[in-house]
Amino acid sequence: FEEENAKVIADGGTPATADPVLLGITKASLQTKSFISAASFQETTRVLTEAAVAGKVDKLYGLKENVIVGRLIPAGTGTVLRSLKRVAAQNDKEILAEREAAAAALEAGNDQPATEETAE
């Protein structure tokens, strides 16, 4: 809801409005963004079937779904370090891709202006 409203506002549209609804524990557990978490509580077959048909992807942001699939939970003292490692790994991939592209261009004989990395 919030994501779609942000898109609409960015496009200059009028955002949607909503009112919170108090649901019982059964229905509340089925209204989560994580279909894995919802399937673990009740109506497993229906929840998994709907997720498969809709092509949903569970990003595993919460504690419950991470425990279900056997991953470390996104909490505790190691969370910040794990996040930094993930960002560093992504940065390393981007740098390696840039270097490979530059090396391929040099092998092909293309003259490209020097970048900060190659100027040093």
Segments making up each domain of the chain, as ranges: 23-72, 76-110
CB 112 within 8 A of CB 101: no
What is the reported pLDDT for 49? 92
pTM for the whole thing?
0.41
What is the reported pLDDT for 90? 93
What is the reported pLDDT for 38? 82
What is the reported pLDDT for 10? 93
Report the chain (120 residues): mean pLDDT per 10 consecutive residues. 90 89 63 79 84 90 84 77 88 94 85 53
The three-state DSSP-derived secondary structure of 9-64 is HHCCCCCCCCCCCCCCHHHHHHCCCCHHHHHCCCCHHHHHHHHHHHCCCCCCCCHH
What is the reported pLDDT for 75? 76
* Separation of alpha carbons 49 and 33, rounded Å: 15
CATH 3.40.225.10 fits 23-72, yes or no: no
